[in-house]
Amino acid sequence: QVQLVESGGGLVQPGESLRLSCTASGFTFRSYRMGWYRQNPGKPRELVAVVNGRNTTTYLEAVKGRFTISRDRAKHTVYLQMNSLKPEDTAVYFCNAHFYENDYWGQGTQVTVSS
């Protein structure tokens, strides 16, 4: 059974940091492209950052230089380190695992940036 379990969301002030974690099970982690997406009510889900099996990364332009995605193969976990958070980063963040026609999602974790 495929599972993506996210943690690390919360309420922070502008300029602070958070680290999201997503632990995977039920599929061959090393083969999948892992990523983080975010979504606000009434808006489409957008890609924030992805890392493939070769550790090549891609970022949303708005988070470049502030967010870092990484993966730990031994722990089957992908991380999103978020620094210098801004109010516009507020969203529900979803973990994603993708490999050809296979596409899995976590349940989402809320990140709120507010003073």
**Residue 3 pLDDT:** 95
Region 4-30: what's the mean pLDDT? 96
Region 89-99: what's the mean pLDDT? 97
Q: How confident is the model at residue 11 (pLDDT cuts 50, 70, 90)?
A: very high
Region 3-27: what's the mean pLDDT? 96
Q: What sign does the CA torsion over 2, 8, 11, 15 have?
A: negative
pLDDT digits (tens, 9 = 90+) for 27-61: 989 989 999 999 999 999 999 999 998 999 999 99
Q: Give the Cα separation of 31 and 83 in Å (integer).
A: 28
Closest-CA residue to 69 (of 10, 20, 115): 20
Mean of pLDDT over the chain: 96
